[in-house]
Structure 1
């Protein structure tokens, strides 16, 4: 279905334009969903291209199908689809940071509680058993704060990478050729 060349072009060879879209989607062409297979091929090939290189999508059709001029709607449909996916990833990043702030507050409260309990145990008791409980509370406190730290340090990177890829695809040059 797809191939790339050295110039950063993703080529799709289709029988007609209907293969590009989700057949169950009732919306007009410009607003229709791309088929899962078409999206997957385009995204996988785009991931292989150099990050700084502009992307070109070439759609080769054996026949125009039931629509007289597929080149009038296919570029807008592809660009619109990936623009919507970019917005979806931006929303996911915002939600991750919102959830991360809440998780950080919960984690900070948990860590503070553990540290307060450690201090109380230090003031009230001595001995090896008390030391084991104190060390256990230190571990629990840091485990409670681990997930928020992971969210802020690592979890947003794959989302940003996808958002950037979808922006590149939305900004790509799309052309349609009827063979």
Structure 2
């Protein structure tokens, strides 16, 4: 996508403004639901843009909207939509950490129980089967703690990345260009 006034630009060419919105949404409010394919197009292009530059979204309309079927303000609709998506990602991040804390507590208790059982049950036992039993309990304990550790170490990164992208899109300068009369 071209650069315009120091901003990384995403351009959309539409027949009319209604093409940007979900056709099942009757526009009960000022902003409508952005169509999934339009959102995917904008997000895919935004991912490829330089991270340090502000985003501009230019919408080229082939024809103005019909007076009997008004379309919500495109600028407000797009920025509000992506602000809402950023808020959804914030909630998802909070939920992940809340679930992670619970999973970690359960996993920690499970790990402690496995390590304790491993120690307790092998105190008087010797031989290869005792060692096998001891190591099996240790492995089970680490498997129990694996998912909570994964949640805290890795799962939050893509959510944070999406939230940052949606915030950039919510702050984008949206310009609607009508055909020259």
TM-score by length of 1: 0.93
Instruction: Name the structure 2 match of 1:15.
Output: 15
Pairing 1:91-102 to 2, within 5 Å after superposition: 91-102=91-102
| Contact persistence 2:108–2:145 (CA under 8 A) | yes
Greater shift, 161-170 or 4-13, is seen at 4-13
* Larger helix proportion of the pair: 1
After the TM superposition, which parts of structure 1 deviate over 4 Å for at least 4 consecutive aligned residues?
none
Q: 1:6 aligns with which of 3, 8, 12?
A: 3
Give the unaligned 5+ runs of structure 2.
Answer: none
2:50 maps to which residue?
Answer: 50
Q: Which residue of 2 aligns with 1:119?
A: 119
Q: Counterpart in 2 of 1:103?
A: 103
Output the aligned Cα RMSD.
1.6
Match of 1:171 in 2: 171
Matched residue SS, 1:11 = strand
Within 5 Å, which residues of 2 pair with 1:22-171?
22-28=22-28, 30-67=30-67, 73-171=73-171
Give the superposition deviation at 1:72. 7.4
CA contact (8 A) 2:30 2:72 kept: no
- TM-superposed deviation, 1:30: 2.6
The answer (yes or no) to whether the contact 1:30–1:74 under 8 Å persists in 2 is: no
Contact 1:104–1:149 (Cα < 8 Å) also in 2: yes
State the distance in 2 between where 1:54 and 1:13 align: 21
Greater CA drift, 86-95 or 27-36: 27-36
2:27 aligned counterpart, secondary structure? coil
Q: How many residues align?
A: 175
> Quick check: 2:18–2:71 contact (8 Å CA) kept in 1?
no
